[in-house]
Chains A and B, each alone.
Chain A
């Protein structure tokens, strides 16, 4: 007797054989098909090891100096919202965040600001809005250097 049953040869167990067959067949199908539900190779952050990343850019929104959510505001007044989309510049320089959701956020923030401009007759909003990138650089010895680059400054009103 073994810990697992009557034999140390796991494949003597019909249940193990059944599950192992499913692992091999489904696993092979995932390898052949790639990403197509229900097949996947689970590529979550799998590319991190392809090159050692020493720089990253994280988009942040500050409302009156405090980090906040742009989705709570509207009637923006400021420069062209295209200034909020340095994604292509980031990618060209290899300076982007690790998270696809973060990298898409600058597009979402830019779209949010662009689609909610203040009317000409509106006064400036009571809140100062800044959209910035925090450039994170890994230094030798495990330390990190942070440098903030503001890409858009304007005003806004809270959403009604």
Chain B
């Protein structure tokens, strides 16, 4: 029987995948926008037709059910789930914006699936038949995403990212564009310019601190910090990534049993 945290972990990662899939379906361009484009030789417009998307969703749900229920990793299931997201990403990339059009919500669940797939491959006589290897590989790739999120801010703008004017301006724009969403909170932040650099440094610190996720004992504390960051970003500028929060908690809890599951 799977250890309880392992089961919780798979449920949360599975929920992350399901949420990411819903976002992916929402982001896929329509057939008119796709025109004559093709993905792997198949007309893209056909791939985004309702019957195909319904079948793809049913396949995803069937694979997800197996992923959550099984106490041992199955490479075809994991690879199949990853392949579905890979195809959707290629469809989104047919947008005039190219790769920039691919919704970031699917990156963390997608890369976790890739890592779990790699971790599930067993050599002959390999004594390890559980999830442990895949979970740790997934945690490493998740850590890389957070570290990159912080590093690229410094790479592109240096410490200017935390300059006083930038974050309050960002929040103020959201107050104007979305007058019905968290206006009181956003206005409160805008009226206190000293909060700008403070919040910016907190975000940078948490993102770069993602390196801590490679240590199993630090995965739950980092999941707490990342959750706070995502919730703050969602409240202030409206970008919420629940699939990332679910995925991080899934890996953090799963890690507690991964050594024995």
Using CB atoms and an 8 Å cutoff, list the residues of chain A in contact with chain B: 3-5, 10, 13, 15-16, 18-24, 26-27, 30-31, 34-38, 40-54, 56, 58-60, 67, 97-100, 102, 134, 136, 138, 141-142, 144, 146
Instruction: Name the residue of chain B whose CB is nearest to the CB of A29.
Output: B144
Pick from B133, B152, B160, B211: contact of A18, CB under 8 Å: B133
Q: Say yes or no: A49 contacts B140, CB within 8 Å.
A: no
A97: min CB distance to chain B, Å? 5
B219: min CB distance to chain A, Å? 9
Q: Say yes or no: A99 contacts B177, CB within 8 Å.
A: yes
Interchain pairs with CB closer than 8 A, number:
182
19 A-B residue pairs with CB within 8 Å: A15-B216, A19-B143, A19-B214, A22-B136, A22-B144, A24-B140, A30-B144, A37-B93, A37-B99, A37-B110, A38-B85, A40-B107, A41-B151, A42-B149, A43-B152, A49-B153, A98-B170, A99-B173, A142-B168
Q: Say yes or no: B104 contacts A4, CB within 8 Å.
A: no
Q: Say yes or no: A18 contacts B140, CB within 8 Å.
A: yes
Question: Per DSSP, are chain A's interface residues mostly helix, strand or loop, or mixed?
Answer: mixed
Q: Say yes or no: A60 contacts B177, CB within 8 Å.
A: yes
Tell yes or no: B217 within 8 A of A by CB. yes
Q: Which residue, of B106, B133, B172, has the highest number of chain A Cβ atoms within 10 A?
A: B172
Cα–Cα, bound, A98→B215 (Å): 36
Question: Per DSSP, are chain B's interface residues mostly helix, strand or loop, or mixed?
Answer: helix
Q: Say yes or no: B86 contacts A144, CB within 8 Å.
A: no
Q: Say yes or no: A22 contacts B166, CB within 8 Å.
A: no
Tell yes or no: B69 within 8 A of A by CB. no
Tell yes or no: B184 within 8 A of A by CB. no
Tell yes or no: B126 within 8 A of A by CB. no
Q: Say yes or no: A136 contacts B172, CB within 8 Å.
A: yes
Contacts of B145 in A (CB 8 A): 40, 42
Q: Say yes or no: A56 contacts B169, CB within 8 Å.
A: yes
- Contact A98 to B148, CB < 8 A, known contacts A18-B140, A22-B137, A58-B176: no
Pick from B104, B106, B147, B173: contact of A23, CB under 8 Å: B147
Q: Say yes or no: B165 contacts A67, CB within 8 Å.
A: no
Instruction: Name the residue of chain A whose CB is nearest to the CB of B147.
Output: A27
**B116-157 CB contact bits vs A (8 Å, 1 = yes)?**
000000000000000011001111110111111101111111
